[in-house]
Amino acid sequence: MPNFDTSHVKNIVLLGHAGSGKTTLAESMLFEAGLLTRRGSVEEKNTTSDFYELEQQRGNSIYSKLLHADWRGYKINVLDTPGYDDFAGEVVSSLRVADTGIMLLNASFGVEVGTDIIWEYTEQFRTPMIFAVNKLDLDKADFDRAVTQAKDHFGRNITVVQYPLNQGMEFDSIIDVLRMTMYKFPVSGGKPEKLPIPDNEQEKAERLHKELIEAIAENDETLMEKYFDMGELDEDEMKAGLKKAMINHDLFPLFCISAKKNMGAGRLMGFIDNVCPSANEMPPQKTSSGELLPCDANGPACIFIYKTISESHIGDMSFFKVYSGTIKSGIELVNESNGVTEKLNQLFIVEGAKRTAVNELTAGDLGATIKLKHTHVNNTLHARGKNYELPPIEFPASTMSVAIEPAQKGDEEKLSLALHQVQEEDPTVQVEVSQELKQIIIHCLGELHLAVIKWKIEHISRNLAVKFSKTRIPYRETIRKSIQSNYRHKKQSGGAGQFAEVYMQVEPWHDGMADPKGMSVRGRDEHQLDWGGKLVFLNCIVGGAIDQRFLPSILKGVMEKMHEGPLTGSYVRDVRVSVYDGKMHPVDSNDISFKIAGLMAFKQAFQQADPQILEPVYTVTVLGPDDLTGHIISELQTRRAIMEGMDTEGHFTKITAKVPLSEMSDYSSSLRSITQGRAKFRMEFFEYVPVPFELQRKLIDEYHKTAVKEEV
């Protein structure tokens, strides 16, 4: 493949709800460019893009793919993305490096759930956007409805460039109001015949042509003046105005296609090379330090890693965008994150599963390399002497958590290695090894995402089977009244014995509380606990009843019991312990004796001090369409939610509530079910609150039953 300069490289990302035809369009684009002699199909499981076994099994895209086409002197890099929100990380990473997005709308369904959700990401990146109404050859196709919905959802900046002449089963003609031409396609699709616009369509075409010119002129004062003077703009002026308006996110041209019949793909590619911006026409990248980095082939070398995959026969493959300079095989670049120098021994351009070695890639281009041992997604690599660090991709927060364990004991190391690989390839997967809950927890984006994670784990290690379970809830324990307690530890078994006696007062702690009545505080230790809350430990010993050197041992015993509370084995928080008396033996007293005495005295006091279990409560924010707010609120109220209010956020109604974490385990699936996937949510820790009395009894009973079973 020939080398392309920066201005002749276009990076396009295909976006849309699942089933909108992204993969089929990518196939038609490659066919139109001559890279394929025969178009594959999703049904036949032979598309260039969906080459993974799991994708072919499921019949939909799961991973983003990099493809490329040589088109009329331009290199068009095409990023095909999945449509399900469970794989939003693949969409976000592709948007990060694309210079234009093509949002596909299914002509039969218009704006679907995935369209709304993905649009939010495009606005974050300010990506220049094209809309393409696809599947106009289907019986229920309704172009006008799709356009109306798009304008309702995404604004009046959507401007029609093409409309279908005869949508439905007989679809074969498109009227282009930019070029004022009709394209009539042969039955097999491909290259159309250019014809005059029929007389009965002339008025409509002229009206849409005028609307297009006015939309372009509105965003450019020079063109506006010329339009007022001349009453018209020529095609070149319209293209220049379109490009400027797209870069500024002020105008979104809308096209017609039938990807399956290969009708309109060629015209769309012509618009990409003629109008869509290349990377050097977009605003310069800003580094984390605020420095501007122009996309210049003659500038210092700088690449950004946006995706990593691992394949058994080649190892790790890193996908990158060249943001500055020209990258050649064998170049050495410094990883800004860790200072390690990496050598890019091989460079590839990618066409799905096919990798072609090249000698160099220039600024603005996308490519891949292998065996970067110390480089990961979101890393910036640059020439020596520079300190460029490009802003990282902000991946969507997880909405679902489950515990995972190997089905067979002894496979823990295999599982650990497999999880590490999964997390390396998919930054939306977070793996937490919780010492508190004694579980390995996977945080992900939904049930479909979890099913893919399971498949990947079991295919990374062929003999590894895993099982999922609910994550335990990180409850906390505290007390509600003050109690005095004492414990004597005495053990004699020949030789030196063990002896310690401790008297303590245990009470609930709160900010600003006075010193304990009737006691003289001689020492104070305040501990901000890692799990939240506080322990205040007071030395109120008078007359040397316990030697000062044994107090740390008493504190250690108290802390040990606070790691495993008496009610449910949860962490204890917000207590004050005052040690005010005790006894010791000149020979038998030692650190271990006072640690045990302190632990047991604290345990006894805690159980008598009106103990209380606390549960974590989260602020849950649900974003959904206005017509479903009643269903969303009703469902939340079944989860002990306290409603906070309603507002708007972007195109969604925002519902805010406080919900106990224990009620949220299956919320992702439930919300998707009641809204047909048209809503999304986020959650953030708020505070710990007391659990209801009946729930507290249930939790205590369950814990003690489990403890008895473990003892047996």
Burial letters for 202-236: b for 16+ Cβ neighbours within 10 Å, e otherwise? Answer: eeebeebbeebbebbbbbbeebbebbeeeeebeee
Query: What is the mean predicted confidence (pLDDT) over 589-608?
Result: 95
- pLDDT > 70: percent of the chain: 98
The DSSP H or E segment spanning 135 is none
pLDDT for 679 equals 85
Q: 159 by DSSP, 3-state: which? A: strand
Yes or no: say if 81 and 90 are a contact pair by the CB < 8 Å rule.
yes
Rounded Cα gap, residues 406 and 708, in angstroms: 24
Query: What is the mean predicted confidence (pLDDT) over 646-672?
Result: 90
Name residue 325's amino acid: G
CATH 3.40.50.300 for domain 6-198+249-281, yes or no, is yes
Yes or no: say if 680 and 459 are a contact pair by the CB < 8 Å rule.
no
pLDDT for 336 equals 96
pLDDT for 707 equals 63
Q: 183 by DSSP, 3-state: which? A: strand
Parallel, antiparallel, or unpaired for β 9-15 and 100-106?
parallel
Would you list the domain boundaries of the chain?
A: 6-198+249-281, 291-382, 400-469, 477-609, 614-694
Distances (CA, A) of 507 to 221, 488, 571: 73, 20, 16
For 459-501, the three-class secondary structure string (H helix, E strand, C coil) is: HHCCCCCEEEECCCCCCEEEECCCEEEEEEEEECCCCCCEEEE
Work out the burial of residue 543: count CB atoms within 10 Å of its CB; fewer than 13 is exposed, 13-18 middle, 19 or more buried.
Answer: exposed
pLDDT tens digits for 299-355?
A: 999 999 999 998 777 778 999 999 999 999 999 999 999 999 999 999 999 998 899
Rounded Cα gap, residues 532 and 574, in angstroms: 9
Yes or no: say if 22 and 42 are a contact pair by the CB < 8 Å rule.
no
pLDDT for 712 equals 37
Which of 175-179, 462-466, 512-516 bottoms out in mean pLDDT, i.e. has the lowest? Answer: 462-466
Query: What is the mean predicted confidence (pLDDT) over 483-488?
Result: 96
Q: 263 by DSSP, 3-state: which? A: strand
Yes or no: say if 74 and 68 are a contact pair by the CB < 8 Å rule.
no
pLDDT for 711 equals 45
Name residue 56's amino acid: Q
CA 271 to chain centre: 32
Instruction: Report angle CA 182, 184, 189 to the nearest 5 degrees.
Output: 140
Q: Which two tokens stand for residue 88?
A: 């939003």
Rounded Cα gap, residues 120 and 242, in angstroms: 22
For 272-335, the three-class secondary structure string (H helix, E strand, C coil) is: HHHCCCCHHHCCCEECCCCCEECCCCCCCCEEEEEEEEEECCCEEEEEEEEEECEEECCEEEEE
**Predicted confidence (pLDDT) at residue 685 exceeds the cutoff of 80:** yes
The DSSP H or E segment spanning 681 is strand 680-690
Which of 65-74, 231-240, 604-613 bottoms out in mean pLDDT, i.e. has the lowest? Answer: 231-240
This prediction's pTM: 0.88
Residues 6+ apart with CB under 8 A from 661: 473, 474, 615, 616, 617, 618
Query: What is the mean predicted confidence (pLDDT) over 545-569?
Result: 94
**Sign of the dihedral defined by the CA atoms of residues 598, 600, 606, 612, in that order:** positive
- The answer for 438, left when phi > 0, alpha when psi is -120 to 50, beta otherwise, is left
pLDDT for 59 equals 85
Rounded Cα gap, residues 354 and 662, in angstroms: 47
Which of 10-24, 27-41, 252-266, 566-580 bottoms out in mean pLDDT, i.e. has the lowest? Answer: 27-41
Q: How many residues does the chain have?
A: 712
pLDDT for 676 equals 81
Q: Which CATH number fits domain 477-609: 3.40.50.1370, 3.40.50.620, 3.30.230.10, 3.30.70.270?
A: 3.30.230.10
Q: 433 by DSSP, 3-state: which? A: strand
Rounded Cα gap, residues 484 and 463, in angstroms: 56
**Predicted confidence (pLDDT) at residue 390 exceeds the cutoff of 90:** yes
The mean pLDDT of the chain is 92
Yes or no: say if 300 and 271 are a contact pair by the CB < 8 Å rule.
no
- Name the one residue in this structure whose structure tokens are 């996308």: 366
pLDDT for 150 equals 94
Q: 174 by DSSP, 3-state: which? A: strand
Who wins on pLDDT, 8 or 310?
8
pLDDT tens digits for 370-386?
A: 999 999 999 999 999 99
Instruction: Report angle CA 131, 200, 108 to the nearest 5 degrees.
Output: 35
Instruction: Report angle CA 204, 210, 213 to the nearest 5 degrees.
Output: 140
Yes or no: say if 476 and 613 are a contact pair by the CB < 8 Å rule.
yes
The single-letter DSSP state of residue 609 is S
Yes or no: say if 132 and 102 are a contact pair by the CB < 8 Å rule.
yes
Same topology between domain 291-382 and domain 477-609: no
pLDDT tens digits for 214-249?
A: 888 888 788 888 877 777 888 888 888 999 999 999
Rounded to 5 degrees, what are φ and ψ at 487?
Answer: -150, 135
Rounded Cα gap, residues 568 and 700, in angstroms: 6
Query: What is the mean predicted confidence (pLDDT) over 435-448?
Result: 93
pLDDT for 621 equals 94
Rounded Cα gap, residues 304 and 687, in angstroms: 39
Q: 242 by DSSP, 3-state: which? A: helix
CATH architecture of 614-694: 2-Layer Sandwich (3.30)
**Predicted confidence (pLDDT) at residue 497 exceeds the cutoff of 90:** no
- Name the one residue in this structure whose structure tokens are 């802003």: 391
Superfamily of domain 400-469: Elongation Factor G (Translational Gtpase), domain 3 (3.30.70.870)
Measure the N-to-C terminal CA separation of the chain; round to a whole number of Å.
70
Q: How many other β-carbons are positioned within 10 Å of the β-carbon of residue 498? A: 18
Which of 53-62, 102-111, 157-166, 576-585 bottoms out in mean pLDDT, i.e. has the lowest? Answer: 53-62
CATH 2.40.50.100 for domain 291-382, yes or no, is no
The DSSP string of 502-552 is EEEEEEE--TTPPPPTT----EEEEEE-TTSSEEEEEE---TTSS-GGGHH
Who wins on pLDDT, 289 or 494?
289
pLDDT for 2 equals 57
The DSSP H or E segment spanning 508 is strand 498-508
pLDDT tens digits for 510-536?
A: 998 999 998 999 999 999 999 999 999
